[in-house]
Structure formats: C-alpha cells, structure tokens
Chain A
C-alpha cells in the first residue's frame, strides 16, 4: 500500500484531530456568544418599549431587530437625558451590527482547503472558511474567527452591564 501523499494527509487532517476540533470550538463559541447578542435585541425591546412591540419584532431578522432596539433606546434615553449611557448603547449596537456581518461570513460558508502551486511547482495549503459569494476574497482563517469571538464575548459582557444599568432608570416620567 502506498504512503499517503502530503495533500492526502492535509485533507484528512481537515476532518479529524486537533485542527477540526479547534474549528468546531471556534464556530461553537461564535454561535454561543452571538446568541447572547440576539437575546439582548429581544430584551431591550421587551424592557424599554410598549408591550405590543416585542411580539411583532420577534419576526424580524437580527439586523432589523437590533436597529429597532437601538431606536427604542434612543427614544427612551434622550427623553430621560442620559446622554452618556445612550452613547455607550450606540457604540454597542454599531459593533453588534458589524459582528453580525462577520458571523454571517463564518456561519454561512464552508470550511475548505485551498491548494496553491508556485512557478517552481512547490505546493502550499491554506485552510479556512471560503466566502462563496465573493470568490476572489481570501479565506477566513481560524485566527480571524477566534479574534472575532473575543470581540463577541466582550460585547456580550458590555451588553449585560448596559441592560442592568438601564433597567435601574425610572422612565415613568418619560414619553
């Protein structure tokens, strides 16, 4: 039986062993942290808007629901003159929307192996998530996904603190 080729070994490593485990963990963490941001968009509307809005907003996609939550917070916090808190929410929502674009790139595309051959015939490999809608763009690397997860985790922690702080405000005199 012939020895497996380097390419064969590299392809096999995509499906088993520590490499694929690292990818699975990174993509799982992304789903977990992003779910917390999804929860925030529901909770912000539920807590700070009128009662009938949340049921209607459940049918919205993340982007539209987050933009609606941002508008709800703008309305409430401007009326209550909480300028600094509103600024922090604005920054949080902006970063959440940017994170959604990253998430879509990672979650809706396949993990692939690109094989490169230079003029001398030397072969090299790169593993990553291929952005299928944009075939000329480079693959997303595992390092990019992990860095994105760190940002998501930080966002989720800020979200918790913002919700707690905002929940303590008395909006009963507002609009």
Chain B
C-alpha cells in the first residue's frame, strides 16, 4: 500500500534523527524522488 505524504515525511524525520543515519542531503534526495 502506498504511503501518504505524512507517512513519508515522518519516515524522513525518523531516519534523519537516527544517530547513525545516511548523509542528510543524500537521504533527503531519496525522499524527494518518491511520488507523493
């Protein structure tokens, strides 16, 4: 099932807040490519 825009945004925040996450710019760009 496709995620809502709010779910996608929440996922992005969680991954950004993760202490051992991906580079924020790279991570944000991957979310930017998601069709919402």
- Indicate whether A161 reaches chain B with its CB closer than 8 angstroms: no
Interface size bucket, B side? 10 to 19
Minimal Cβ-Cβ distance residue in A for B13: A71
- A72 CB contacts on chain B under 8 angstroms: 17
Chain A contact surface mostly:
helix
- A49 CB contacts on chain B under 8 angstroms: 17, 19
- Indicate whether A52 reaches chain B with its CB closer than 8 angstroms: yes
Q: Which of B1-31 contact A (CB under 8 A)?
A: 13-14, 16-21, 23-25, 28
- Indicate whether A53 reaches chain B with its CB closer than 8 angstroms: yes
Number of chain A residues close to chain B: CB under 8 A: 15
Q: Once the chains are docked, how many angstroms separate the CA of A71 from the CA of B17?
A: 6
Q: Once the chains are docked, how many angstroms separate the CA of A68 from the CA of B21?
A: 14
The digit string for A64-78, where 1 denotes a CB below 8 A from any CB of B, is: 000110011011100
Shortest C-beta distance, B36 to chain A (Å), equals 15
Q: Known contacts A56-B25, A56-B28: does B20 contact A68 (CB below 8 Å)?
A: no
- A71 CB contacts on chain B under 8 angstroms: 13-14, 16-17
The residue that A67 contacts in the complex, of B13, B23, B28, with Cβ under 8 A, is B13
Does B19 contact A75, Cβ atoms closer than 8 Å? yes
- A50 CB contacts on chain B under 8 angstroms: 19-21
What is the interface of chain A, defined by CB distance below 8 A to chain B? 49-50, 52-53, 56-57, 67-68, 71-72, 74-76, 174-175
Can you name 8 A-B pairs with beta carbons within 8 Å?
Answer: A50-B20, A50-B21, A53-B17, A67-B13, A68-B16, A68-B17, A75-B19, A175-B19
